[in-house]
Amino acid sequence: MHDSQITRRRFVLTAVAASTVAVAPASWLPENIARADGTDDAALTRLARLLFPHAGLADTVYADVMEILFTTFESDPAKAQLLDTAASALDAQVNGNWFDADEDSQISAIRNIEGEVFFAAILAGVRGIFYYHPGVWAHIDYPGSSKEHGGYKHRGFNDIGWLPEGE
Amino acid sequence: MAKQYALDDASVVVVIGSGAGGGTVANELAQKGIDVVCLEAGSRLTLADVENNPPAMDAKMGWYDKRIGAFLWVCKTVGGTTMRWSGISPRLQEHEFRVLTSYGQIDAGTSLIDWPVTLEELAPYYDRAESKMGVSGTHGIPPSEESNNYKVFKAGALRAGYKQVTSERLAINPVARDGRPGCQQISFCHSGCAIGAKWSTLYTEIPKAERTGHFELRANSMAVRIEHDKTGKVTGVIYRDQGGELHEQKARAVCIAGNVVETARILLNSESALFPQGLANSSGQVGRNYMRHTFGSAIAVMPKPVNLHRGARQTGVLFDEQHHDPSRGFAGGYQLQAIGLNPHSISNSIGDWGTGHTEFMQNYTKLAALFITGEDPPEADNRISLHPTEKDANDLPVPVIEYRNHANTDAMRDHAIAASRRIYESLGATHFWGGDAPVGCHNMGVARMSADPKDGVTNRWGQAHDVPNVFVSDGSVFSSSGAGNPTLTIVALAIRQADHIAERMKRKML
Ligand SMILES: Cc1cc2nc3c(=O)[nH]c(=O)nc-3n(C[C@H](O)[C@H](O)[C@H](O)COP(=O)(O)OP(=O)(O)OC[C@H]3O[C@@H](n4cnc5c(N)ncnc54)[C@H](O)[C@@H]3O)c2cc1C
Ligand code: SF4
């Protein structure tokens, strides 16, 4: 698994008391999210689940998606700060620790920052990884690549049986 | 077999771009024995490179040079965006060639003109284009097979009172034809067709041109500037090869087909003492009147499974709303077209997040979807220009794309979304979403054909008003957008243009 010393240092939880909430380092960002050893970070997983709440989809899938996002972002200087920024903005919205807030407050905090450029980038990133994730595909019955199976010509592209006939 | 021409061979026609327009005009010229060098910025893939993996294929064939402004989902690869396209191939309708006459000037911001070409004149070229591309339901080719998503679309449309719904007009072989197989319903058309059932110039026009012995494809060759002599006649094209080195290919005439934004950029970047506003731009119209159609999507959760991911991306067109009827509250008309999308594309269309959005995604197998394309009025201020200072990795000025939807477009989209809702709700849809589709796939205008040289950049042959040996061979020449997808018309115009060039050459006028 990709080792990310620099990012870990950047994301290390610092208990620095800042003068305003808006610039305080987010209290819930992980030092180490969803590594191969299974250490999930509950807050990022929670964020992903609130964005795309599929009932019955395992937390491990959400955690894996955020892990991939994290790795992608950290290798791109333009994006490396985005999660930091978003976390601080969410904390500011709830005047404290976003992760500790109740679900309604967590959601309205996200709604309040969804117009921000940094959040749009995160949302696009999560969406791109999430809806290409094999765990999500399995959950919603999307089978992916079809050319190795000869397409759907003989596998049900026209098998719908419930439409009104001859109206 | 494939030829090689010397850089100083001034007898060749240089074609810039190998997509729908460039690939067609190049092959048509080569078939007539005219020597052609085709400069293509992208590399040449084979069918074996095609994977059912959209992000991987985007990386192989997408256009990633820096642009500022509205997003365009176009390709940089041999075959251009015909590698990614869906293949829907309707003709423009009669009233759409005469928009100013039919609709009047909509308001002070619009710049409608009639085409200097009529449907009647273009009809024989539409015939040739349909036959070349193998359009289903034309020239003895059967209709395309009806997929689940199409059947829902059609049944709903009939219930909603519509009549003109068809699975014809798709440039995908329903059965084997022209050395290419019939569609296997693989359903990843937007990532390239792995078997070549869908028409793309990569495996039709380009190899056919090569077999004439009058054609050289130079891939990985980015045209940056067009050169001219003291009289203003064009003499050659400067291009950058893969290693970054610049060369000049001499030319007898140049056909530009870079897919609108790049076509405008090349013309504007070819400014000189003689042409201070850019080549062929004495009218100031190069880059202006950029159109991208009224776009929209509708997605519905149906009561039972549809499995819209199975089968060709797009099959099916509804024509009932394409006429002009001002009582609907907008000028021009639109088409609805069934479209099957993968989970990411569905999510991205809806754009939102949270429980409302995810209700659709959780019911992915029950989704039905359609795509809206409609007339987009030209406006001079919707335009491509060059950034005054910023350069891209090719040392070219970065193109700036300014585009906003006209109120006519918003009114038309609202109407189309309401129609779509009726279609799906007539079959008991439980959830419905309709909205904008903010991606530029259909690009038109920027070097439009005009009867009066003041109103446009090119004449009725796509030949520059200012410079007789410069031709524009892509959607840039559209005088207006019409409602339907543009490629069939691009191909028809390119065939017609090649005839015109050959005839001019014979008469020693080129
Ligand atoms: C997802 C999608 C679906 C679509 N579906 C349909 C459809 O169903 N029906 C329809 O009619 N249309 C459809 N289209 C649009 C269709 O793809 C275009 O209309 C068509 O490809 C345009 O042809 P073109 O020759 O202008 O440009 P392209 O096909 O894009 O070709 C332009 C070529 O020029 C090259 N080029 C650009 N600049 C330079 C330069 N400076 N030097 C050298 N080479 C250069 C590019 O690399 C490219 O290969 C779709 C498009 C997309 C993205
Ligand atoms: S659905 Fe047909 S045209 Fe589309 S990729 Fe598959 S085989 Fe090719």
Is the predicted pLDDT of residue B103 greater than 60, yes or no? Answer: yes
Is the predicted pLDDT of residue A31 greater than 80, yes or no? Answer: no
Q: Inform me whether the C-beta atom of residue B58 falls under 8 Å from chain A C-beta atoms.
A: no
Percent of chain B, pLDDT > 70? 100
pLDDT of residue A38: 35
Check if the beta carbon of residue B257 is closer than 8 Å to that of residue B16: yes
| Whole-number Å distance between alpha carbons of B134 and B44 | 23
Range A53-81 average pLDDT? 90
Give B492: exposed, middle or buried? Use CB within 10 Å, 0-12, 13-18, 19+: buried
Q: Report the amino acid identity of residue B162.
A: Y
Check if the beta carbon of residue B332 is closer than 8 Å to that of residue B106: no
Strand stretches in chain A, DSSP E: none
Nearest-CA neighbor of B80 among B490, B492, B497?
B490
User: Which residue's entry shows tokens 């060039």?
Assistant: B501
The CA-based angle B298-B299-B304, given to 5 degrees, is 145
Q: Which CATH architecture has domain B13-506?
A: 3-Layer(bba) Sandwich (3.50)
- Per residue in B130-143, pLDDT tens? 999 999 999 999 99
pLDDT band at B92 (very low <50, low <70, confident <90, very high): very high
pLDDT of residue A28: 54
Is the predicted pLDDT of residue A78 greater than 90, yes or no? Answer: no
pLDDT band at B312 (very low <50, low <70, confident <90, very high): very high
For residues B319 and B2, which has the higher predicted lDDT (pLDDT)?
A: B319
Query: What would the DSSP string read from start to end of B415-454?
Result: HHHHHHHHHHHTTT-SEEEEE----B-S-B-SS-B-SSTT
CB contact (8 A) between residue B53 and residue A145: yes
pLDDT of residue A77: 80
Return the ligand 2 atom nearest residue A146 CA.
Answer: 6
| Number of helices (H), then strands (E), in chain A | 7, 0
Q: Among A63-77, B276-290, B437-451, which range has the highest average pLDDT?
A: B276-290
| Whole-number Å distance between alpha carbons of B37 and B25 | 11
User: Which residue's entry shows tokens 């005439």?
Assistant: B253
pLDDT band at A167 (very low <50, low <70, confident <90, very high): low
Nearest-CA neighbor of B311 among B349, B352, B353, B340?
B340
Range B443-469 average pLDDT? 98
- Per residue in B24-42, pLDDT tens? 999 999 999 999 999 999 9
Range B236-263 average pLDDT? 97
Q: Does the CA dihedral B270-B275-B276-B282 come out positive or negative? A: negative
Pairing of strands B215-218, B334-338: unpaired
CB atoms within 10 A of CB A26: 21
Q: Which two tokens stand for residue B285?
A: 């119209």
* CB neighbour burial string for B451-475, b if at least 16 within 10 angstroms, e if fewer: eeeebbbbbbbbbbbbbbbbbbbbb
CB contact (8 A) between residue A158 and residue B146: yes
pLDDT of residue A42: 83
CB contact (8 A) between residue B343 and residue A163: no
Percent of chain A, pLDDT > 70? 74
User: Within chain A, what is the greatest distance between any pair of CA atoms?
Assistant: 72
Check if the beta carbon of residue A77 is closer than 8 Å to that of residue A7: no
Pocket test for ligand 1, best of B77, B487, B489, B493 (most atoms within 8 A of CB): B487
pLDDT band at A83 (very low <50, low <70, confident <90, very high): confident
**Residue B237, H or E segment:** strand B234-240
Nearest-CA neighbor of B186 among B197, B175, B199?
B197
pLDDT of residue B1: 59
Least trusted range by pLDDT, from A35-49, B221-235, B468-482:
A35-49
The CA-based angle A135-A140-A142, given to 5 degrees, is 85
Among all bound ligands, the one having the nearest atom to the CA of B84 is: 1
User: CB under 6 Å to ligand 1: residues?
Assistant: B 16-22, 39-42, 73-77, 80-82, 84-89, 190, 222-223, 257-259, 262, 266, 314, 441-442, 474-475, 485-488, 490
Q: Where are the domains of chain A?
A: 2-148
**Residue A128, H or E segment:** helix A117-130
Distance of CA A20 to the CA centre of its chain: 27
Q: Where are the domains of chain B?
A: 13-506
CA A70 vs CA A28, A113, B186, B238: distances in Å: 15, 20, 33, 43
For residues B162 and A148, which has the higher predicted lDDT (pLDDT)?
A: B162
- A23: Cβ contacts below 8 Å, ≥ 6 apart: A88
Cα B81 to ligand 1 centre (Å): 3
Q: Which of B307, B346, B363, B426 to mutate to test the interface with A (most CBs of A within 10 A)?
A: B307
Chain B residue with CA closest to A47: the answer is: B354
